[in-house]
Structure 1
Amino acid sequence: MPNSLPVLDRFDRAILSILAAEGRIPAVELARRIGLSKSPVQARMKRLEEEGVIAGYRAILDPVKMGVAHVAFVEVRLSDTREAALRAFNKAAIAVPEVEQCHMIASRFDYLLKVRTADISDYRRVLAERISALPYVASTSTYVAMEAVKEAL
């Protein structure tokens, strides 16, 4: 069955949990913490990567130090929701560097965007020049985040 989910045992889940929190942990330390030797842990990691369970590794950047601490969530309503319009919007939204996340939503609006900018002035420019100019955008509503209470990275 091509679309079946991989079978994950308790060791796989422990590896994934630790890697999600501490991606750069040495294999020897990972093995020690889950109670296996280094070779089986490395083989499991390779299998999890090949199966696509581990999609990749990345550095987690500090948005304050990167100068993009301002977060806004933007509801976007489209003027057309046929498949071609959705594809055009998706492609264009992906190309906007300030759009950190873009989700199609089943609601009174069509998309929810998470946008990171330097400040409210920068956000206003991005909204006017980039987001509002995306294909088929009929209207937007903005919610400015005052504090991130929890962010899974």
Structure 2
Amino acid sequence: MEGGSLGTRHMRSQVGPDWSSKEALILVNEIAAVEADCLKGLSSYQKWKIISETCTALDVPRTANQCRRKWDSLVDEYKKIIVRSRTFPNSQTQTHTDCFPPNFDRELFKAIHDFVMSKDNRSDDTDPDSDTDPEADFSEAISQTQLGNF
């Protein structure tokens, strides 16, 4: 496509810097705080805007879209860790921390785990359709995973 525009494609330099484990932990903590404070009172756009602004104030300058994409990525990695730990629960050759991808540590895992569990508990109390929530699908797997092994 000669002379055409790149459209929505972004060069790596435009995407933003990589997230450190500490920055990801700040993001998870802010998501949990906004969810706890706002519940269903704000739109998704408003929540991500608040999360982005708070992260920026905490020296993690990211846009709302970058925060949302990172959260989606963290949840995907979290789910993979849960699946791997359930697939090989007593493996002598692999420890649970070996399942962690780069920039993903025990503290970050626990923060995501705590958030997912609290969100699942809230949705059980308030949302009769919580079974359609993709995070709720992992609730049973999470509760069966021995968190102390991580």
Shorter-chain TM-score tier: under 0.3
> Which TM-score applies when normalising by structure 2?
0.27
Larger Rg: 1
Q: Compare the two structures and name the one with the higher strand fraction.
A: 1
> Which TM-score applies when normalising by structure 1?
0.27
